[in-house]
Chains A and B, each alone.
Chain A
C-alpha cells in the first residue's frame, strides 16, 4: 500500500464549526486529491493539488478549501460544517498527473459526521 495517512479517521462535529482533515504522504508524489464518497454518487472530486501551493477545484468544491504548504501534506478545511458535508473523505495521490502511467492511490478514509 502507498504511504498515505489520513487524520482524523473519525470525527463528529457540530454544524457551523470549522473542520480540518489532514492527508500525509511519504511517497513524494506530486499530485494529491480530496474526494468525498456518498451513496449513489460514488466518489466526487473536491479539490486537487498539482504541486506545493498549486491547487484547483474539483466537481464539488463549494464550502471547502485546501492548502498544500509541503509536498507531503494536503489539508482539507470545511469552513463552516453543514449536515450535507457528512460523508467519507478520501485522500489520494498519484505520481504523474499527465500522460500515460498515472495511477491514483487512496488513503483509508476519514468518516465525518456533522450534527
Chain B
C-alpha cells in the first residue's frame, strides 16, 4: 500500500529564511504528487501538483517542489518565507491508476516575524 512520510513535524524559521519541507512516498508505479496548505482555521488549499513532465513544479505564492523519482521524494521549497506562510503543509500522493489520495501527517510551519 502506498504511504507518505513527512519527517518534519514542526519547523520554525525567521522571516526571509529559506524553506525546504521533506516528503517521501512509497509506491513503485506512476504517481501524481501534491502539496496542500492549511492556514489556521481554514480548509486545505492546493499549492502545487505534479503529474508528468518537468520535475520542477512551480506553485502559488512562490512555492516550488522537485520530484526526484530515484529518491521517491517531492520536497517543497521557498527561497524566502514570510510571516503569512505560517500554516500546516501536507504532502499527498495518488497512484495514477487509483482513485484514492493519501496524505502525509503534515508539517507545521511557524514563522517568527
Interface set of A (CB-CB < 8 Å, partner B):
31, 33, 35, 40-45, 48, 50, 58-59, 90, 92, 94, 97-109
| Complex-state Cα separation, A48 to B92, whole angstroms | 16
Cβ contacts under 8 Å, B90 to chain A: 42-43
Q: Is the CB of B44 within 8 A of A90?
A: yes
The 6 A-B pairs at the shortest CB distance, nearest first, are namely A97-B99, A42-B105, A43-B103, A100-B51, A106-B44, A42-B106
Interchain CA distance A97-B98 in the complex, whole Å: 7
The CA-CA distance from A31 to B98 in the complex, in Å, is 11
> In the complex, what residue of chain A is closest to B90 when comparing beta carbons?
A42
User: In the complex, A108→B51 CA distance in Å?
Assistant: 26
The main secondary structure of chain B at its interface with chain A is loop
Total A-B Cβ pairs within 8 A? 64
Name the residue in B32, B42, B101 with the highest tally of chain A Cβ atoms < 10 Å from its Cβ: B101
Cα A101 to Cα B44 with chains together (Å)? 18
B residues neighboring A (CB under 8 Å) = 6, 9, 32, 34, 36, 42-46, 49, 51-52, 90, 92, 94, 96-106
Compute how far the CA of A44 lies from the CA of B90 in the bound complex, rounded to whole angstroms. 12
Q: Which residue of A lies closest to B49 (CB)?
A: A103
Task: Given A106-B43, A109-B43, answer yes or no on A98-B97 (Cβ-Cβ < 8 Å).
Answer: yes
Q: Find out whether the CB atom of B104 lies under 8 angstroms from the CB atom of A42.
A: yes
Q: Are A48 and B100 interface neighbours, CB within 8 A?
A: yes
Known: A42-B90, A90-B44, A103-B46. A98 touches B100 (CB 8 A): no
Tell me the minimal C-beta distance from B56 to chain A in angstroms. 17
- List 8 A–B pairs whose Cβ atoms lie within 8 Å, in order of A's numbering: A42-B106, A43-B90, A50-B99, A90-B43, A92-B101, A100-B96, A102-B32, A104-B101
A107 CA to B45 CA, complexed, in Å: 10
User: Whole-angstrom distance from the CB of B53 to the nearest CB of chain A?
Assistant: 10
Q: Across the interface, do B100 and A45 meet the contact criterion of CB distance under 8 Å?
A: yes
